[in-house]
Each structure stands twice: as C-alpha cells, then as structure tokens.
Structure 1
C-alpha cells in the first residue's frame, strides 16, 4: 500500500504505523485519517501481523488535529462533532477492538488528539524529551479521542481534571510516575525498546494477549461478580488452546515455546 501521510510496514509479525507529516508535527488531516484507516483495515486482514507499533516521524509524535485542514474562516461556526464521529471515534474503537497488542512509541510532543491516541494503546513508551498535552482547553474544547474516558482511569479524577483544564504539558518522566504510561526511556533507546517489545509480543501467545487486553479494558465497566464470571469463561476457552498446551509442554521440557496464536 502506498501512502503520503503515513508509513506502514510489516516485519517479523510486527506492523509499524508511523504518522509521517513531520513538518506539521504529524497533525491529523482527513487524508491522514483515511490512510490510517486503510492501513489498519489491511493489517486486520493480514494473519501474519501479531502486534502493532504506532509512532511518529521527526521531532514529534502527533500534535492532534491540523486546524488548517478544516479551512474554517475565523469566527465561522463548524460542527466539530461530525469530525469526531467520522474520524476520531472510529479510530479509537478500531484500536480497542483489535485482537493483537498495541504499543505506542511517543517520540516527542503528543498533544490534543495525539496525546489521547497514544493513551488508547495498550502499552506506551515515551522518550524522555516527550510531553503529553491536553491542549483542548486552550481553544475552548474538551479532551476528545477518548480522553475524558481514559484519563481519569489512568491518573484519577484530580490529575485528569488538572491536565484537562490547564492544558499544562506533562513530561514523560512524570507521566510514568503517575502511571499514565508504561515507561519513560532515553530518546536514543525509544524505538529499539519499542520494537523489541512488539517483536516479543508478536512471537508470544497472542490468543491469550487478546483475551487479556479485552478483559482488562472491559473490567472498567463490570462489577466484580461479572468480571469473575468473565475470567472463568476466558480461562475455560484459553485452557483448550494450542498456545496453552505448548506453553505447559515447553515449561515442563525446559525449552522455548513456539506459540502460534491459536
């Protein structure tokens, strides 16, 4: 697939999707949304892909929406809900519904929708120089792209409210301290660590990974009793999988398991 605003490649079971408008800090346009969607649709159909890595080109991860792409004159009214419903909501729903682990390597500023795109991923690694900014408040908006849902679940209501209302940048190191991301790493080590993690996932028991990510995400909406029942049902299903049998056999035989994701 040929793209103009993103880069997409698959190697060793890992699909790497790079937002590639570095001159605009990889901010989203309609074209970028459409190309990301096309890449993800192709990825879902590709049975060789067992992990997804998302990152950005250049000095930033993603500055959110490219305001110039809407071509709205100053003072002119615009239905932002249409943009959210047509582009951002489907993207977040797509990522949440995937059956493979999703890793995000935040290589620089992640602002607005860019910040919340990163937080929609399963595991977020960020370069030490990276910053997360809920910049919506600066132009009179709310955190979209799932921001109002994920932020308080990651950092609590007080910190989520502070980030959303002040629009203050949160350094990667503080984001790790707050539990908003998995790990802050040195800039020069970011892609090496992210790719190593993605490759590890791609060769792992991806059926179990899929069940784990869906169970943890779904647990936010379940009661304890409902989640205990869900764990029972998932364990019953996974216990009959090839990966479980292979994992146990490899452990008993003191060898490296060969998982197939089935």
Structure 2
C-alpha cells in the first residue's frame, strides 16, 4: 500500500507513530514529503497535500472533533451538515469560527483526531437544537454503539435537565431519522399511535394512528422504481384491509412537520364525521 492510500483511508491525515506502526519507514515519509504528495501539518503529524478535511484542521489546531463535526466519523444521522468546526481544545480557547466544547472525559477515536462517542453525544445535547441532537443519539443507541443509560449517566445534576429531556424522546427502534421526527410530532399532537405494526397482507407499517390510519415515512429509497411498485401494492392492501393510508417524505417530516400533523388530523376528523363510512 502506498503512503498516500494509507492516509486517504484514515481521513487524509495521521501521526508519524501511526504511519510507522502501519509498516512505513521514516524514509517513506521523507520521500513523500520531497515529492509534495504529503505535507507536515505540525511536528509528528502528516496529511495529504490536497486534503483539506476537518481532521487536518483539528490536527493543526491541536484539538479533537466533536458534536456535529464528529458525526460523519461515527456514521451518525444528521439533519444538517456542519458549517462550523466543533472542537475540544482542552482549556485553550477555540480559534475564530470554531465552536468550543468542554473537555473530553472518555478515550477518543484510536487513530483520528476525534473525541470518543460518549463525549460527542454529550456535547451534542448541550450544543445542538433538540431534534438535531436527538437523531444523533437515536442512531448511536439504536445500533447498539452505546447504551441510553450510559449517556444518561453522563448528564446528572440540575444543569443537565434540558439535555436529559432529549433522551426521553429516544424510541426503542427507528429504521430512519424520519421515524424519530415523525414520532415526536405525532406524540406532541396528542395522537394515539403504535409503531412498527404488523398488518396481515401488508406487512410492517411505520405507524398505526388511532387504530385506523396507516402512516408511512418514506426516505430516498422509496423513489426507486421497484420500491414505488412495492409501496403501491402495500397501499392497496392496506385500504382493502379497511385502513386509511398517508405517506410522507423527507421534506414533509423534516421541514413541514406541522403540515404533516395537520393532514393526519384532517383525515381523522373526516373519519369521525363518517366521511369514509358507507
């Protein structure tokens, strides 16, 4: 493996110890530096010459990526891409344009300048809007990367009341961030619902509201031709089985939840008035 390929597989940068530990020599490093395929960020750390990643910025600033900036490393769900650099820099002040977070209490990522997952999530619930933090935590907990109880244990005391309230919105299972957000919207509207309900002839549906209305939340994969055909068959089977059906996409759930809830309430109101009865 070439040194450039090794760095590319590790986010574009690495420490000298990590490079040598992977089997490269100091001469390999010197040759790459002379050829300008890599550069020395600072003593003991090197990066691809054309790589301007958050990892490189964190190494240059002697900090660890955390919160929204660390989400891509751990593959966490996010609602919006990070615009600012979120960093743990110890007791030092963060540079202009970066968001400074408290010190890290847990081991960081082994070979990248990234805070540990527990610190990333704790920083997120203190820093981000409620729903943005929620989807990150739901993703990590749902995959089994960390337990909800452990995250809660890191948020003791009166000052963490708001942060703990975000944890109360985590559900046992969510197949997408759309399910998480829709669940919050429906619950706050006072709707009676069940999640992941198995309906004969249809299969499992995302939500069954008031025992009569099937609600599905459709991500990008539902726009693929084979999935469109499958969803059409499921819709027909639901209606044939006596259920009403509504489907909502990313834009509905993420950007217009009030409109989504209003449509659900309108259908339920029409049903209560007998609109769907013979």
User: TM over 0.5, yes or no?
Assistant: no
Q: Please tell me whether Structure 1 or Structure 2 has the larger radius of gyration of its CA atoms.
A: 2
Comparing both chains, which one has the higher relative contact order based on Cα–Cα distances under 8 Å and sequence gaps of 6 or more? 1
Report the TM-score when normalising by structure 1. 0.30
The TM-score normalised by the length of structure 2 is 0.29
